[in-house]
């Protein structure tokens, strides 16, 4: 099933107990609101599907896994309400992953920026290539990684998260991300990554659904308040994105 959207899509396929959710946007897989909304809904549906044992989340293309928020939509935000609505899109995807009763395996084939790092951190098990460098660039455009902060900090710890958040223009390589715990595995090629994903998903398809559901609950214990927390964080970003600093920074970036 393909949900075609303007300049992008979300595609869902189910095969032998594995539901694969793939997203694409021509601007380095940046995420506008409609793709974020469709991603969250697709994850919810997979979680409620009795025929789904495990979920794989991936993006299309050969370069970036996800470049974060859509700059076109960021620059179009006119008030705090619109800002809250846009950043709630990332919050809704993270929370959908969090409450989904199925394990979600991330296929991280390329670079992750901003919200893309948040998606990678939200995965229950992320398998990446050596090209999957990361950067939290939000501060450089006058906002901060508020929405993705809780999920990134949960995965890699306060120290590593603060390093990423403060030095917002520096790329960390994929090995740094693996050593900090963001990625469970790192492979030199996409073929090796895909083979590992096939091995893991085959094992999980033949595992106890009830046991996996209970394991996931225990892994995410202590995050029950995130519906409220991430909404509050989205409001912070929604206010900051209205600043003249942010508008000028985004315009400069778009001209590069």
- Averaged pLDDT for residues 161-188: 98
What's the helix, strand, coil split of the chain in %, to 5?
50, 20, 30
Q: Quick one: pLDDT at residue 7?
A: 81
Q: What is the pLDDT of residue 31?
A: 94
Q: Where is pLDDT greater, at 5 or 172?
A: 172
> What is the pLDDT, as a whole number, of residue 147?
98
What local confidence, expressed as pLDDT, does residue 256 receive?
A: 65
Task: Establish if 217 belongs to a structural domain.
Answer: no
Predicted TM-score (pTM) of the model is: 0.95
Residue 37: inside a domain: yes
Q: How confident is the model at residue 4 (pLDDT cuts 50, 70, 90)?
A: low
Give the pLDDT score at 5.
Answer: 67
Domain assignment present for 200:
no
C-alpha to C-alpha distances, 37 to 161, 187, 198, 229, nearest whole angstrom:
26, 31, 27, 19
Domain of 69, CATH number, reads 3.90.226.10
Average pLDDT of the residues in 173-196: 98
Give the span between the Cα atoms of 138 and 145, in whole angstroms.
6
Q: Is the pLDDT of residue 40 over 70?
A: yes
d(CA 246, CA 106): 31
- pLDDT tens digit string along 125-153? 999 999 999 999 999 999 999 999 999 99
Closest among 50, 51, 90 to 70, alpha carbons compared: 90
Give the chain's domain count. 1
The parent domain of residue 123 ranges over 2-190+225-255
Examine residue 174 and state whether it is found in any structural domain, yes or no: yes
Could you tell me if residue 201 is inside a domain? no
- Rounded CA separation 10/27 (Å): 15
Say what the pLDDT of residue 253 is.
77
The model's confidence at residue 250, banded by pLDDT at 50, 70 and 90, is confident
Mean pLDDT of 20-34: 95
pLDDT for 59 beyond 80: yes
Q: Determine, yes or no, domain membership for 67.
A: yes
Any domain includes 211: no
**CA atoms within a 13 Å half-sphere pointing along the CA-CB vector of 53:** 15
Helical pair 149-156 and 115-122, crossing angle rounded to 10 deg: 50
Q: pLDDT (tens digit, 9 = 90+) per residue, 194-238?
A: 999 999 999 999 999 999 999 999 999 999 999 999 999 999 999
Q: Determine, yes or no, domain membership for 123.
A: yes
């Amino acid at each position: 099933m393909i949900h075609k959207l303007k300049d992008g899509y979300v595609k869902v396929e189910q095969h032998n107990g594995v539901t694969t959710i793939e997203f694409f946007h021509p601007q380095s897989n940046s995420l506008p609101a409609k793709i974020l909304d469709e991603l969250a809904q697709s994850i919810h549906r997979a979680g409620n599907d009795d025929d789904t044992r495990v979920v794989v989340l991936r993006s299309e293309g050969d370069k970036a896994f996800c470049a974060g928020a859509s700059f076109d939509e960021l620059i179009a935000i006119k008030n705090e309400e619109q800002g809250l609505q846009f950043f709630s899109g990332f919050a809704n995807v993270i929370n959908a992953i969090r409450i989904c009763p199925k394990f979600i395996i991330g296929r991280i084939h390329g670079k992750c920026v901003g919200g893309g790092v948040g998606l990678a951190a939200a995965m229950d098990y992320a398998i990446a290539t050596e090209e999957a460098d990361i950067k939290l660039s939000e501060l450089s455009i006058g906002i901060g990684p508020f929405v993705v902060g809780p999920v990134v900090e949960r995965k890699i710890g306060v120290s590593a998260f603060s390093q990423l958040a403060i030095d917002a223009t520096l790329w960390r390589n994929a090995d740094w991300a693996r050593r900090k715990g963001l990625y469970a595995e790192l492979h030199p090629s996409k073929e090796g990554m895909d083979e590992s994903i096939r091995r893991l998903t085959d094992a999980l398809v033949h595992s106890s659904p009830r046991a996996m559901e209970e394991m996931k609950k225990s892994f995410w214990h202590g995050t029950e308040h995130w519906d409220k927390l991430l909404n509050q964080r989205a409001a912070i970003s929604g206010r900051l994105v209205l600043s003249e600093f942010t508008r000028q920074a985004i315009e400069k970036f778009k001209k590069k």
